[in-house]
Amino acid sequence: MKYYLGIDIGGMSVKAGIITDDGKMVAKKTVETSAKGRTDDFIADMAKLAEEVTAEAGLCKSQISGVGMGVPGTVNTDTGVVTYACNIGFRNTPLAERFKELFGVSPKLANDADAAALGEVKFGAGNNANDALMITLGTGVGTGIIINGKIFSGRHGMGGESGHTVIVVDGELCGCGRRGCFEAYASATALIRQTEKAAEKYPDSEIAAIIARDGKVSGTTAFRAYKAGDAAGKEVVENYVKYIGEGTANLVNIFRPEIILVGGGVSNEGEYFIEMIENYVNANTYGRELNSEITVRKAALGNDAGIFGAAALCM
C-alpha cells in the first residue's frame, strides 16, 4: 500500500488528506488560513498541517510516496511557482521550493479546479476515464481538462481557462474584464442574474412570486418555478441549460472526452438537470452522427475532490 498526501488550498481554509493508491482517505485535517497575505507564515502553516495529518494517519514522513497541492490561482506546473493567487495573496511565490525547505518533500502543484477534476475522474464519478472534462458551476465556471489521465492546463500550466472563452461576442461583462465569457452565462452568479431579469420581465410569474415570498433570489429560484410549471421558470432554466450546453459542446468539439462531470452548487439540482445538459450537448456537438454519445454525470466527491486530486498528482 502506498500513501499520498493531498493538500487543497482554499481562500478560507487549507485541507489536507492522506490517500491510498486505491483511493481511500485514511486521514483528513483542515486549518483556517489566518495567514493570508503573509506568505511565509502561510506556507509554515501548511507544512505543520502536513506533519499533523501524516501523524494522524499513523505514518512517518518517509512513508509518504508523494505530495500534491491544489492552488486557487495560476500555477507554473513546471517550476512549482504560484504565478498569481489573489485569494491567498501569492504572486510569483516559489511554493514548491519553500514547502520543501520545511517538510522535506517537493510537492507537485496544480490549479485547484484542475486538481478537483483529476480527483473526480480518478476516484469519483469519472470511472478513471482517460479523457474527461469537469465543469464546476459555482460563483464562476471552473473547468478541468483531463487528457490521457493527466491534467491539461496549457503551456507551463498557464492555459486551461475554458471558463473564460467567449460564447457571446459583446455579451455580458465577465469578472475577467472581457465580455461574453462562458462563466458570465453559466455560473450560479449568472443564473441568479438571469432569474432576476425574468422576474422583472414577468412580474406575474411564479419566479416573481417565489422571490417575493423568499425575500431574495437564489440559485434554486428558477428551478423551483420550472418544476411548478411556470413559463418564466421554463424560459430561464432552458436558456441556462443552453448556455452551459454551448460552452460544454465547444469543449467537446476540441477535446472529445469520454465523460463530462458537472460539479459546484448548481449541480445539486438533481438528475433531471444533468440530463438536460447531456441532451443539449449530444444534440449540438460536431459530427454527432459519427461519434459515440457523451456521458454527462454529476460529480461525486464534493469538497473532497481537491484533496483526492492533489494526491493523485503524484500517482
Binding site for a copy of itself (CB under 8 A): 74, 83-84, 130-131, 145, 154-156, 158-162, 164-169, 176, 178, 180, 185, 242-243, 246, 249-250, 252-258, 284, 286-287, 290-291
Smallest separation, CB 121 to a copy of itself (Å): 13
**Closest-CA residue to 113 (of 258, 8, 251):** 8
For a copy of itself, the closer of residues 60 and 290 by Cβ is 290
Q: CB-based contacts of 307: which residues, under 8 Å, 6+ apart?
A: 6, 7, 8, 15, 16, 17, 19, 25, 28, 70, 119
CB 242 within 8 A of CB 277: no
For a copy of itself, the closer of residues 54 and 295 by Cβ is 295
Smallest separation, CB 17 to a copy of itself (Å): 29
Smallest separation, CB 250 to a copy of itself (Å): 4
Smallest separation, CB 150 to a copy of itself (Å): 12
- Helix, strand, or coil here: 291? coil
For a copy of itself, the closer of residues 50 and 260 by Cβ is 260
Smallest separation, CB 258 to a copy of itself (Å): 7
For a copy of itself, the closer of residues 66 and 245 by Cβ is 245
Give the span between the Cα atoms of 184 and 167, in whole angstroms. 9
For a copy of itself, the closer of residues 252 and 314 by Cβ is 252
For a copy of itself, the closer of residues 105 and 190 by Cβ is 190
Smallest separation, CB 201 to a copy of itself (Å): 18
CB 248 within 8 A of CB 133: yes
**Closest-CA residue to 243 (of 293, 193, 313, 302):** 193
CB 4 within 8 A of CB 68: yes
- E strand map for 21-107: 25-32, 64-71, 74-76, 81-85, 90-93
